[in-house]
């Protein structure tokens, strides 16, 4: 296998191209837009830049944000100080940087719309609006709106969130996250260089209703629509059963990033998983095993081991996080209250934001710390004299 065609040049495709071209393969990447402002918050967690330090060690414009304010009516707000900041890029800048890195590593980058791919014996023929190319292997990185039906995740309505918002002229130094009643999703304000990305994501709710919720929020916050640019897109959010049948590879192809449904079903974080899956796909293709079928299996196994099983676990938690109740209040309201009043709980939230806390371990950690958190909350209400000190509480 020498010639690899990469279909789609977002973060997943560009990073796969960089890795494979850097190892000496003949890589052709096709993207219909190349660098563009893909609808996205553009936020990268500590988990992403600690594994791929080039994401912060570069001269591309970006913001480092160390404060997040969580709110959930009627619980009010809680401020979370992030030891490890969230890094926020415009997607145009991030995509351009990743494509430049791929080109520098030796990949051939072409602005072209892939219209069809067909298997010809053991090879592929890639048809684009500009011509035809042959390849021994294909990497499908066409994102959530993958039009190549026979390859990549088959997204059913229950496997997606709608995400929409506005790029608003303005400036702030903190991130805002607001939970809303009866919404499996949330509203965000991400400060970027020169503007804010204000958006909402939600599962099972029509786009029009989400847009109304967001516009009400923006009015309440005094965010102006003047000069604001609307965006909307699809966000994979696989249902727990869909993880079992997820189509991430087949004869002569692998899917990476959104095209493989690899997005956190609770937070909507997809950039890290796009890069990570591209990395794992490249490693599988470059591995010593000679058969292509075994390389595909190796990719499946490494995805599962690395993060997919945790995302699957997260998909089972999602409903409880957004719609569940705890101590007679909604879970988001309790999350905000606990973050405000319990340093121990606040640390857990920080770890979740940084991507250091897996969903599998979360329940155990929450239960282990619950007594101490409740004690800290009681103390914060000034009940020091009536609540006896818990063993182990600091």
Binding of residue 163 to ligand FAD (CB under 6 A): yes
Residue 10 contacts ligand FAD per CB under 6 A: yes
Which part of the chain contacts ligand FAD (CB under 6 A), choosing from 39-47, 132-140, 151-159, 308-316?
39-47
- DSSP per-residue codes, 5-23: EEE--SHHHHHHHHHHHHT
CA distance 285 to 302: 12
Q: Which of 258, 364, 239 is nearest to 314 (CA)?
A: 239
Q: Counting contacts by CB under 6 A, is residue 111 touching ligand FAD? A: no
The single-letter DSSP state of residue 245 is H
SS3 82: strand
Q: Which is nearer to ligand FAD, 72 or 259 (CB)?
A: 259
- The DSSP string of 307-336 is IIHHHHHHHHHHHHHHH-EETTEEHHHHHH
Q: Which of residues 199-238 bind ligand FAD (CB under 6 A)?
A: 199, 233, 235
Question: Cα(177)–Cα(255) distance, rounded to whole angstroms?
Answer: 31
Q: Contact 192/87 with Cβ under 8 angstroms?
A: no
What is the Cα–Cα distance from 344 to 233, expressed in whole angstroms? 36
Residue 257 has which token pair?
Answer: 């990033």
Q: Which residues between 294 and 323 bind ligand FAD (CB under 6 A)?
A: none
- Residue 8 as a binder of ligand FAD (CB under 6 A): the answer is yes
Closest to 57 in 3D by CA, of 41, 69, 70, 44: 44
Angstrom CA distances, 42 to 82, 143, 271, 357, stand at 17, 15, 8, 21
| Using rule CB under 6 A, residue 369 touches ligand FAD | no
For ligand FAD, the closer CB: 91 or 341: 91
Identify residues 113-132 at the interface with ligand FAD (CB under 6 A): 113-114
| One of 16, 17, 20, 41 touching ligand FAD (CB under 6 A) | 41
Q: Does 93 bind ligand FAD (CB under 6 A)?
A: no
List the one residue from 17, 27, 28, 30 that touches ligand FAD (CB under 6 A): 30
The CB-nearest residue to ligand FAD is 270
Residue number, 243 or 272, with CB nearest to ligand FAD: 272
The DSSP output letter for 223 is: -
191 belongs to the binding site for ligand FAD (CB under 6 A): no
User: Is residue 189 a contact residue for ligand FAD (CB under 6 A)?
Assistant: no
Do the Cβ atoms of 324 and 366 come closer than 8 Å?
no
- Least distance (Å) from ligand FAD to the CB of residue 311? 12
CA torsion sign for 374, 379, 382, 384 is positive
Q: How far is the CB of 32 from ligand FAD (least distance, A)?
A: 4
Q: How far is CA 277 from CA 159, 241, 284, 303, in A?
A: 19, 20, 10, 7
Candidate ranges 28-36, 149-157, 179-187, 292-300; the one touching ligand FAD (CB under 6 A): 28-36
Q: Are 203 and 188 in contact (CB under 8 A)?
A: no
Between 101 and 233, whose beta carbon lies closer to ligand FAD?
233
For residues 237 and 350, which CB has a smaller minimum distance to ligand FAD in the complex? Answer: 237
Closest CA to 280 of 245, 243, 305, 259: 305
Q: Which of 106, 10, 11, 103 is nearest to 52 (CA)?
A: 11
> In this complex, which beta carbon is closest to ligand FAD, that of residue 70 or of residue 259?
259
- Between CA 210 and CA 213 the distance in angstroms is 5
Q: Determine, following the binding rule CB under 6 A, whether residue 143 of this chain makes contact with ligand FAD.
A: yes
Q: Rule CB under 6 A: say whether 32 interacts with ligand FAD.
A: yes
Question: Shortest gap between Cβ of 212 and ligand FAD (angstroms)?
Answer: 17
96 three-state secondary structure: helix
- Binding of ligand FAD by 47 (CB under 6 A): no
Letters for 240-269 (x = contact with ligand FAD by CB under 6 A, - = none) are -----------------xxx---x----xx
Which range binds ligand FAD by CB under 6 A, 136-144, 176-184, 216-224, 283-291?
A: 136-144
CA count, 13 A, side-chain hemisphere, 110: 19
Q: How far is the CB of 271 from ligand FAD (least distance, A)?
A: 3
Q: Which of 187, 274, 285, 348 binds ligand FAD (CB under 6 A)?
A: 274
State the residues that interact with ligand FAD by CB under 6 A: 8-13, 30-33, 38-43, 113-114, 141-143, 147, 163, 165, 199, 233, 235, 257-259, 263, 268-272, 274
């Amino acid at each position: 296998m020498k010639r690899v065609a990469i279909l789609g040049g977002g973060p997943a495709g560009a990073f796969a191209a960089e890795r494979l071209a850097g190892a000496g393969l003949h890589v052709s990447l096709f993207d219909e837009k190349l660098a563009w402002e893909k609808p996205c918050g553009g936020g990268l967690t500590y988990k992403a830049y600690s594994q791929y330090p080039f994401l912060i060690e570069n001269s591309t414009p970006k913001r480092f944000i160390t404060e997040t304010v969580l709110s959930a009516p009627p619980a009010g707000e809680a401020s979370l100080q992030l030891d490890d900041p969230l890094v926020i890029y415009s997607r145009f800048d991030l995509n351009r940087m990743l494509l430049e890195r791929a080109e520098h590593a030796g990949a051939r980058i072409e602005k072209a719309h892939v219209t069809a791919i067909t298997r010809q014996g053991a090879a592929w023929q890639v048809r684009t609006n500009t011509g035809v190319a042959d390849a021994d292997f294909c990497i499908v990185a066409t994102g959530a709106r993958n039009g190549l039906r026979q390859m990549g995740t088959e997204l059913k309505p229950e496997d997606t969130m709608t995400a929409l918002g506005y790029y608003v002229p303005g400036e702030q130094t903190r991130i805002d996250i607001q939970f809303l009643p009866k919404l499996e999703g949330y509203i965000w304000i991400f400060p970027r260089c020169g503007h804010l990305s204000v958006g909402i994501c939600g599962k099972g709710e029509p786009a029009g209703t989400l847009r109304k919720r967001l516009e009400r929020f923006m009015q309440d916050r005094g965010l102006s629509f003047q000069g604001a640019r609307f965006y909307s897109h699809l966000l994979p959010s696989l249902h727990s059963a869909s993880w079992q049948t997820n189509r991430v590879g087949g004869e002569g192809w692998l899917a990476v990033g959104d095209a493989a449904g690899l997005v956190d079903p609770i937070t909507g974080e997809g950039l890290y998983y796009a890069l990570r899956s591209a990395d794992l796909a490249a490693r599988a293709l470059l591995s010593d095993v000679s058969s292509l079928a075994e390389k595909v299996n190796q990719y499946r196994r490494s995805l599962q081991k690395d993060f997919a099983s945790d995302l699957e676990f997260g998909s089972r938690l999602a409903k409880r996080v957004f719609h569940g109740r705890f101590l007679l209040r909604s879970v988001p309201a309790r999350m905000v209250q606990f973050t405000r009043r319990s340093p121990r709980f606040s640390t857990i939230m920080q770890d979740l934001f940084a991507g250091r806390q897996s969903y599998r371990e979360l329940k155990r950690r929450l239960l282990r710390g619950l007594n101490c958190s409740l004690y800290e909350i009681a103390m914060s209400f000034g009940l020091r004299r009536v609540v006896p000190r818990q063993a182990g509480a600091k």
